[in-house]
Structure 1
Amino acid sequence: MQIAFLVAPEGVEQVELTDPWQAVKDAGDTPVLVSTEPGEIQAFHHLDKADTFPVDRTVADASAGDYGGLVLPGGVANPDFLRMDEKAVAFVRDFFEAGKPVASICHGPWTLVEADVVRGRTLTSWPSLRTDIRNAGGEWVDEQVKVCSARPATLITSRKPDDLKAFCDAFTAEFAKVSGG
């Protein structure tokens, strides 16, 4: 099963991309890097430039129907860029409308807020997003990982890099339900 990782051309927190990416591979699935522009994305380690990664598909050429799930890594700039791109926001919304699981960590839920998919859901994030999530109709909790099974799609969220192990374990278990694993 292919799993989409949606990231902006720059600003993703590298460990929030690479650890979930490896977890998807370890689960026997295929991670696919989707971005708003072709070429490479620039990852960051906090505010410092880290590695670059090749884009597999642009969001303009991708469809939620091609994937079993979606991962939204954080980083402060990454979701801020994504929520300003209409195609990226629509791509996220399409996963919810299709009933496919979505996993988001740290600042990633900013894109969820923009896609108007947090209303009536319970989720966690980096603490500074608490007010944004509440204003968008969601309930924010301070937990290592939160799985919200509200229909039509399961949402798995986590707070920060320190929570990556629990986040990866939770979302790979939910994604396995899609593939029947």
Structure 2
Amino acid sequence: MVFFVIIAFLIAFFLKRNPFLFVRNISFKWPLIILLSFGAQIVLSYVTLETREKIVWVFVLTFIGVIFGLYINRRIPGVKWICIGASLNLIALLLNGGTMPVSKKALQLTGQAGVSFATDARHHLMGDSVYWILGDWIPVIRYALSPGDILAGIGIAILIIKHSEKRIDQDEGK
């Protein structure tokens, strides 16, 4: 997702916009649902990394919370894309017992061939599932991304670019 944010900032600068203040131009309905659910996901990520224990039902509930909050705000430019991407990732998690399948080939292409899933309770090596297309199989620099990640990233970029303030040039302001 970091790449999408960087690209969005670069595009905003190219369009003579200030992306650093985009947040103040967005008015979310029920923002706490999204913030609390997303915050819980971040905490769960660290907990699962430390304990190696899956807390699937809590993770699924937080995903549902994020998607619900995004759906309520679907009229905001970019949010539909994020919502669809998050929904695809939730489906992938539900179809795979609460963990995201990752392609061995994508891991090799991103230089992560030696990754051990013994210490990662959030991912597993992709098998011969019909649902492989929803998993992390798209190699991008040092990450394997899912189609849901790509759609959510596009949505984040649209959100940042569309809500970045137009900069006033020095010559125009005088």
TM-score if structure 2 supplies the norm length? 0.30
TM-score if structure 1 supplies the norm length? 0.29
Which one has the bigger helix percentage? 2
Q: Whose RCO is larger (CA < 8 A, sep 6+)?
A: 2
Which one has the bigger strand percentage? 1
